[in-house]
Chains A and B, each alone.
Chain A
Amino acid sequence: MLKSADGGLRAVPFPVDDPERIPAPRYYDAEFYQAELDHVWPHAWQMATRLDRIPEVGDWVEYQNVGQSVIIVNTESGVKAWFNACRHRGVPIAGGKGNDHGNCKAVGFVCPFHGWRYNMDGENTLVYGKHLFSDRQMNPEDINLVPCRVEVAIGCAWINFDDDAPSLRDSIGPLLDRLEAHNVHKLKAEWWVGTVLPANWKIAMEAFMEGYHVMTTHPQLQDIVPTLYDGMYKFPRKDQLELVDQNKSLRENIDDQLESMKRLSDGMDGMLHKKELEIARGLADVDNLGVEFPEDKNMALMMWLGIVQDQITKQLQARGEPVPDLNTVCQTDPVNAVEFLFPHYFLLPYFSSFSAYRIRPLGPESCLFELWSLTTYPEDTDHEVPMEPTMIPYDSELFPPIPRQDYSNIPLNQIGLHTKGFEYMRLSKNVEGLVSNFHRLLDGYLAGVPAEKLAHANQMLAGNFDGVIKDLEF
């Protein structure tokens, strides 16, 4: 059951000894869950908040996970984070319920228990009845708020409880730059919903780590462009994916593409934004675009998609939206349809808008799953971002169809894991590699592998959606 300790490494319960097989107890065993709380979460970069929630100096939000609460605040000198406990008797100085927010510029933070005060830089500004305390209890540095490590990237504030962990950029790697080339940091939240899923946090995430499930779980996506999905999964993959049905004309193939985009747009409500779909639809009449398309239908469709990206760029830029040149960045800074940022954040880019997910454990068999629709807004308009997720039941009709389809499998998956004779997940080495790589990175944290090696492995997860099992080199 336990990995033999190897040169100072900790034993890992239910380790991934065979990279193609994930032991089932990792998804429900109480000891394994505790090991994650002890050795993964306090050392990993957690997406604490989107920056669009704290645009002004003094704006603060609370972030909670696995029993720890942190206040993130926008100050004159950048975003700061403080562990959320009064230096007197430990009451949270603000919020404490998980999703609170406010502005502390004028009032600072006032502890609700005995009224001790702190400014936005965490400095204690008042101890009520100071004479009641011994001098040594009032050492100025000792009664300031305890800072938490924080970095900003791709429009979010990230926290890490481990002062010795490599920086966020060294942990995630060049993917952050590629995402910023896509102007991810200029996106704003259009909507934000959350749900509690009766499943381990990893089970909930792994439904989004490969596209192999599309045929069965999202048949409406497969049905409209079967050649594309069959080329990815049903048959061995070719160097150049076949996008078109050769029995149909270019126009018919483009109509299928538009229908596919519509189903994705409706299904995710934001990943492929309606405004982008409208622009693409305006380009459906290929014979009157004034463009000479190549004979090869596959090439022709690629060319048409290039025109769509060009028009989305130009038309949205004309409205004042901070959209990059999509045709340029998809060459210079390619990103995958799903990008997983270890340990718990996802971005799903298509053209200029994105979906995003964040997942937090609530226990061995329960998790909080949040979804955002992120898009660009004209830079001079006021867009009011949601400050809290709208919480809805996971089987609610209010969820867009695609996540609802995924959510219908996830709780079942958790039940099936307990079944007699089901000892491990049996992964595809070619397209479910991200699931394996993620688990083996977790094992690295659980075993106490040096932080630099973990960061190196973490960088290998970029672009690994739907990809292969890798040697993580530790």
Chain B
Amino acid sequence: MLKSADGSLRAVPFPIDDPERIPVRRYFDEEFYKLELEHLWPHVWQMACRLEQIPEVGDWVEYSNAGRGVIVVRTQSGVKAFHNACRHRGVPIAGGYGNDEGKVASGNCAHTGFICPFHGWRWNIDGENTLVYGKHIFSQRQLDPDDINLVPCRVETWAGCVWINHDNDAPPVRETMGPVADRLDAHGIGDLKMEWWYGTVLPANWKIAMEAFMEGYHVLTTHPQLSAARRDALHDMYEADSGLEGGTSADRSRKNFRDGVTTRQVIDAQFRGMEQLSIGMAGMVHPKEIEVMRSLLDADLPEDPGLATATWFGMVQQKIVDELRAKGEPIPDLNKVAVSDPVNAVEFLFPHWFVLPVFSSMSSYRIRPLGPESCLFEIWSLTMYPEDADYSPPLEPTMLPFDSPDFPPIPRQDYSNIPIQQKGLHATGFEFMRLSTTTEGLISNYHQIIDGYLAGRPQEQLATAIHELGGNFDGPIKELGL
């Protein structure tokens, strides 16, 4: 059961000994969950909030995860974060309600600072204590100024988000995420803003909930409408007899199409596929982008379906850039960045944040554990707004039951599998998940990185392994050097 200790490394329960097999107890065992709380979460970069939540000096929000609360606040000298406990008897100085119901405590402290609700001690925006009520009733040594200021938490900003880390020795967030951070920057990720924000509590381990979004292999069965839209013109890329394996990429591109289909049929199938994606995920392909595509359905295109598809998507991207820039949206040159800085349909930012880029808008997910078999799952639609437009962000997620018809169809389809999968894991004889080496590699790779944290591997080594997760969606199991 335990990995033999190697050097100074800790033993890991239910370790990934075979990269193609994930021991099932990692998804419900109490001890494993406790080790995650102790050795994973306090050492990783967590997406604490979006910057749109704290536009003004003094704006603060609470971020709470794995039993620990942090106050994130915008100050004159940038974004700061403080561990949320009064230095007197430990009551949270603001908020403190945890995250079970998706509630996000927020406010502005520019004028009043923070006031502990128990005995009224006060702090300013920079975490400095400004009042101890009845100072004379304490020993001097209890009121050492440095010791009664709020305890700072490490904080950085990137990709339109505030990131916190409880570990002062971890490499910076961009260095941890690696080159995918630069590629996402090239796509203007830092200029996106929240269009909407939903949350739900899923009766499943946080990892099970995430792993439904780490491969496209489930699309045929879980999201049949996406496959159906393309079925007449295109082969299924996961079918064993599709003939898509082997040969050059040009060969594969040609084999992609069913025999005898015309350019019009292919473009029509691609458009209907995108339309289903837009309906299904709302923000991932934005309706304003669908309208651009619709306007180009009759464009002149080459007869060869492969060449036509590439040409058409190039035209679509160019027109999206032209039209949205004309409205004042800060869109990058999509055709250029698609070549210079390719990103995948899903990018996973270890340990708990996702972005799903297609054109200029993105969907985004964040997942937090609420217990070994419960998690909070949030979804955002992120898009660009004209730079001079009035914009007011949602302040907290609209919480819905996971089976609510108010969720867009695609996440609802995923959510219908996740809770029953958690139950299936407990079935007698189900000892491990059996992964594809070529398309479910991301699941194996991030589990191996979790083991690296649990075992206590050096932070630099873990960051190098995390770099391998960039573009690894739908990809192979890798050698991570752990």
CB contacts (< 8 Å) of B134 on chain A: these are 212, 233-235, 428, 431
- Kindly state whether residue A216 has any CB partner on chain B within 8 Å: yes
- Kindly state whether residue A275 has any CB partner on chain B within 8 Å: no
CB contacts (< 8 Å) of A419 on chain B: these are 68-69, 83-85, 90, 92, 151
CB contacts (< 8 Å) of A418 on chain B: these are 67-68
For chain A, residues 234 to 250, give those with C-beta under 8 angstroms from any C-beta of chain B: 234-236
CB contacts (< 8 Å) of B166 on chain A: these are 420
Interface size class, chain B: 20 to 34
- CB-contact partner of A429 in B86, B133, B139, under 8 A: B139
| Cα of A408 to Cα of B92 in the assembled complex, Å | 12
In the complex, what's the smallest C-beta–C-beta distance from A382 to chain B, in angstroms?
43
- Kindly state whether residue B279 has any CB partner on chain A within 8 Å: no
Q: Are A217 and B133 in contact (CB under 8 A)?
A: no
For chain A, residues 413 to 442, give those with C-beta under 8 angstroms from any C-beta of chain B: 413, 415-422, 425-431
For chain A, residues 190 to 219, give those with C-beta under 8 angstroms from any C-beta of chain B: 206-207, 212-213, 215-217
Q: Are A233 and B133 in contact (CB under 8 A)?
A: yes
Q: Chain B: which residue is nearest A410 at the CB level? A: B91
For chain B, residues 117 to 169, give those with C-beta under 8 angstroms from any C-beta of chain A: 117-120, 133-134, 136-139, 142, 148, 151, 153, 166
- Kindly state whether residue A177 has any CB partner on chain B within 8 Å: no
Q: Are A422 and B139 in contact (CB under 8 A)?
A: no
- Known contacts: A413-B91, A416-B90, A421-B83. The answer to whether A215 contacts B120 by CB under 8 A is yes
| Cα of A422 to Cα of B70 in the assembled complex, Å | 12
- Kindly state whether residue B342 has any CB partner on chain A within 8 Å: no
How many residue-residue contacts, CB under 8 A, span A and B? 109
In the complex, what's the smallest C-beta–C-beta distance from A300 to chain B, in angstroms?
28
- Kindly state whether residue A412 has any CB partner on chain B within 8 Å: yes
- Known contacts: A426-B88, A426-B89. The answer to whether A420 contacts B68 by CB under 8 A is yes
CB contacts (< 8 Å) of A431 on chain B: these are 134, 137
- Kindly state whether residue A387 has any CB partner on chain B within 8 Å: no
- CB-contact partner of A415 in B88, B98, B118, B137, under 8 A: B98
- Kindly state whether residue A409 has any CB partner on chain B within 8 Å: yes
Q: Are A425 and B68 in contact (CB under 8 A)?
A: no
**Among B84, B89, B139, B142, residue most surrounded by chain A Cβ atoms (within 10 Å):** B89
Q: Are A212 and B142 in contact (CB under 8 A)?
A: no
**Among B83, B134, B139, residue most surrounded by chain A Cβ atoms (within 10 Å):** B134
Q: Are B133 and A416 in contact (CB under 8 A)?
A: no
**Among A20, A21, A206, A213, residue most surrounded by chain B Cβ atoms (within 10 Å):** A213
- Known contacts: A216-B119, A413-B91, A428-B134. The answer to whether A421 contacts B85 by CB under 8 A is yes
- CB-contact partner of B67 in A413, A415, A429, under 8 A: A415
- Kindly state whether residue A24 has any CB partner on chain B within 8 Å: yes
CB contacts (< 8 Å) of B133 on chain A: these are 212, 215-216, 233-234
- Kindly state whether residue B87 has any CB partner on chain A within 8 Å: yes
| Cα of A234 to Cα of B136 in the assembled complex, Å | 8
- Kindly state whether residue B54 has any CB partner on chain A within 8 Å: no
Q: Are A212 and B137 in contact (CB under 8 A)?
A: yes
Q: Chain B: which residue is nearest A206 at the CB level? A: B89
| Cα of A427 to Cα of B87 in the assembled complex, Å | 10
Q: Are A415 and B151 in contact (CB under 8 A)?
A: no
- Kindly state whether residue B96 has any CB partner on chain A within 8 Å: yes
CB contacts (< 8 Å) of B96 on chain A: these are 412, 415-416
| Cα of A412 to Cα of B86 in the assembled complex, Å | 11
A contact set with B: CB distance below 8 Å? 20-21, 24, 206-207, 212-213, 215-217, 233-236, 408-409, 412-413, 415-422, 425-431
B contact set with A: CB distance below 8 Å? 42, 67-69, 83-92, 96-98, 115-120, 133-134, 136-139, 142, 148, 151, 153, 166
Could you give 14 example pairs across A and B, Cβ below 8 Å? A207-B118, A216-B119, A216-B133, A236-B136, A409-B118, A412-B91, A412-B97, A412-B117, A418-B68, A419-B84, A425-B90, A426-B142, A427-B142, A428-B138
